[in-house]
Amino acid sequence: MKKINRKKFFTAIAAGTISLPFLIRMGGKPQAQTTEAPGIISGKRYQWRMVTTWPPNFPVLGEGCNLFAKWVNEMSGGRIEIKVYGGGELVPALETFDAVRNEAAELGSGAAYYWQGKAPAATFFTAVPFGMNAQQVNAWMLSGDGLKLWEEKYAEFGLVPFPGGNTGVQMGGWFNREINSLADLRGLKMRMPGLGGQVLERAGGTPVLLSGGDIYTGLERGVIDATEWIGPYHDYIMGFHQIAKYYYAPGWHETGSELEIIINKKKYDELPSDLQAIIRTAALRMNHWVLSEFEAKNSIYLEKLIREENVNLRQFPKDVLAQLKVYTDEVIREIVESNESAKKVYENYKAFQKRSSLWARSSEKIFYDEMLS
C-alpha cells in the first residue's frame, strides 16, 4: 500500500483542492469524486400570510408569531416576508386550520385540539388531561415519535405541522363558586376545549369553546360560569380576577400544552431547501421562547394576583381530581376504540409517558418533594 504524504494531504484540504466532506478512503487512497455544483440560492421572494387563533399582538402567543415572522425574514435575508394576522383580522380565529388548508393563508398558529372535530387524533398533539409536562412533551415531539405522527396525520389535510410553543402546566381556572365536590361541577358552563372539555361534560358540566378574545366578555355576560385560559400572566392582564372570585390549581386538563405552526404543504414544498430549513429553525426557536416566556412571566404574576389583588387561590380537592382522572380514562378509551388513527397516536404517547414518568419519579419528583417539604 502506498504511503500517503500527510503534509501534502492536509495542505490540499486547507487549500480546497480536496473536499473533505466527500473524501472516501479505500485502500489507503483518497478516491476521485465527481465535483458537484455548489447550491444555488434563488433570489425569489415570498410574501406569506400567517393567520392565528390568538387576538392581534396577544402577549406571548401573538408576540411569538411576530417574532417567528421576524426571525424568518432575518435568516432568509428578506426572501420570506410574513404578515401576521390576529384572529378575526383576516379570518375568524377558529377557522385558522381551514384557511391554511384552503390556501387563504400560507401558514397559521393555534392549537391542534381546536381541530379535534376534523381529526380526533389531533387533540393528543396539544394536551392530554393528567398527561405529560412541557419537558416531556418536547422530548416526545423531538426525540420520540410525536412529530412524525403529527406530520402523518396533518399530511391527510395538506398541512405540515411544527411545534410552535408550549404553555407549560396551566392553572385550573376561574370560578364564581367553590369546588368542594364533584357536584359543584354539575350544570357549570365553562370555557374548556379539547379532552378537558369532554371530561368536564362527563362530570355534568357544559364545555364551551371560545377563542381567547371572547373569554372575558363571555364570563362577564354569563355566557359561561367559569373559564380556564393559560396561567397567571394572561389571567392577570385579561382581568379575570375582576369578575371571578376563586382561582383554582392545578391545571389537570392541560399539563404541558403544545401549540402549533401549520403550513400549507403545497406552499412549503415549493420553497427551496434552505428556506424550508429556515422555517424549521425559526419554529424551533419560537417553541423554546414561548415556554421560557410563560415560565418567567407566570411566576411574577401569580405573586401579583395573590399579594396585590388578594386573589383567593384554591386547590381542587383530591377526590375531585381522582374522579376526573377516572372520567379522563373513560373519554380517551371511547375515542381510541372508535378511531384507529387516534389509537395509534395515543398508544405511542402513553408509552412515552410511562417511560418518562419513571425517570421523573426517580429524579425530579424526589428533588422537588425535598425542596418543598
- Per the domain annotation, does 276 fall within a domain? yes
Q: Which stretches of the chain drop beneath a pLDDT of 70? A: 1-42, 373
Which pLDDT score, from 0 to 100, does residue 43 have? 85
Q: What angle do CA 78, 80, 81 make, to 5 degrees?
A: 85
Residue 236 lies in a domain: no
Does any domain span residue 338?
A: no
In a domain, 336, yes or no: no
Q: Are strands 107-110 and 258-264 parallel, antiparallel or unpaired?
A: antiparallel
State the residue range of the domain holding 95.
Answer: 46-165+256-295
**What is the domain count for the chain?**
1
Q: Which helix (H) or strand (E) holds 67?
A: helix 61-75
* Cβ-contact 165, 291 below 8 angstroms: yes
pLDDT tens readout for residues 101-154: 999 999 999 999 999 999 999 999 999 999 999 999 999 999 999 999 999 999
Spatial separation of the C-alpha atoms in residues 328 and 217, rounded to whole Å: 29
Q: Give the Cβ contact number of residue 28 at 10 Å.
A: 9
112 inside domain: yes
pLDDT given at position 373: 62
Tell me the C-alpha distance between 146 and 154, whole Å. Answer: 12
111: domain CATH number is: 3.40.190.170
In a domain, 290, yes or no: yes
- Between β-strands 206-208 and 189-191, what pairing exists: parallel, antiparallel or unpaired? parallel
pLDDT in tens, 255-297: 999 999 999 999 999 999 999 999 999 999 999 999 999 999 9
Q: What is the pLDDT of residue 41?
A: 63
Note whether residue 319 is domain-resident.
Answer: no
One DSSP character per residue, 283-334 reads HHHHHHHHHHHHHHHHHHHHHHHHHTS--EEEE--HHHHHHHHHHHHHHHHH
100 within a domain of the structure (yes/no): yes
Angle, nearest 10°, between helix axes 273-307 and 134-143?
Answer: 170
Residue 122 in grid coordinates: 389531533
